[in-house]
Amino acid sequence: MTINLILLSLLAYVIGSIPSGLWIGKIFYKKDIREFGSGNLGATNSFRVLGIKAGSIVTVMDILKGTVATLLPFFFQLHADHHFWLLTGAFAIIGHSFPLFAGFRGGKAVATSAGVILAYAPLLFVAALIIFLLTLKISKYVSLSSMIAALAALLISLFMGDWILIILIACITLFVVWRHRANITRIRNGEEPKIKWM
């Protein structure tokens, strides 16, 4: 079982490494999104550089990377503890943030982390999504909304009694905030771009 989990974790990393924004930008728009906007490979920069349609597709793909990777033990009928789903999900997050196929320079892990939560705790995903959308509607800042949604997910998870999930979400939250440190500075300085489509 240990070997199987190692192999699935590596597969999860490869799945997470799929640079959705980069590939869609290059194939359909002849643009390398790393050369525009924030230079990030995530969904937010895809929206900014490629538009709403492409950004939406990238968001869905990035979420599904986390969901599919988290469910790998189920797909391969590996009868392990449910918490091993979080292990493979974590490797997808690592893959998204440090992708094998894009020079290890990836996104900020928000959408893929959401996909992991969707697979493991769907109601928690829905709650975090609602908080994200409400914050986005009010603030117009994707970065701020992402951080608040991550913090909200952590707070909600504390009442779920699943300590492995709590630890993972705590790590995700810290990582998301760290990856957005430049955005925090821009928000303070009034330089962070606001969305115009909501």
pLDDT 10s digits, 84-103: 999 999 999 999 999 999 99
Dist. CA 181–CA 168, nearest whole Å: 20
**Of 134, 164, 163, the residue nearest 146 (C-alpha):** 134
- Taking 70 as the threshold, does the pLDDT of residue 153 lie above it? yes
Kindly report the pTM of this predicted structure.
0.94
**Of 114, 124, 133, 121, the residue nearest 176 (C-alpha):** 114
- Taking 80 as the threshold, does the pLDDT of residue 198 lie above it? no
How high is the pLDDT of residue 144?
A: 96
How high is the pLDDT of residue 127?
A: 98
Dist. CA 31–CA 37, nearest whole Å: 12
Contact (CB, 8 A) for 50 and 66: no
SS3 assignment, position 67 = helix
- Taking 70 as the threshold, does the pLDDT of residue 1 lie above it? no
Model pLDDT for residues 53-62, shown as the tens digit of each residue: 999 999 999 9
Dist. CA 24–CA 49, nearest whole Å: 11
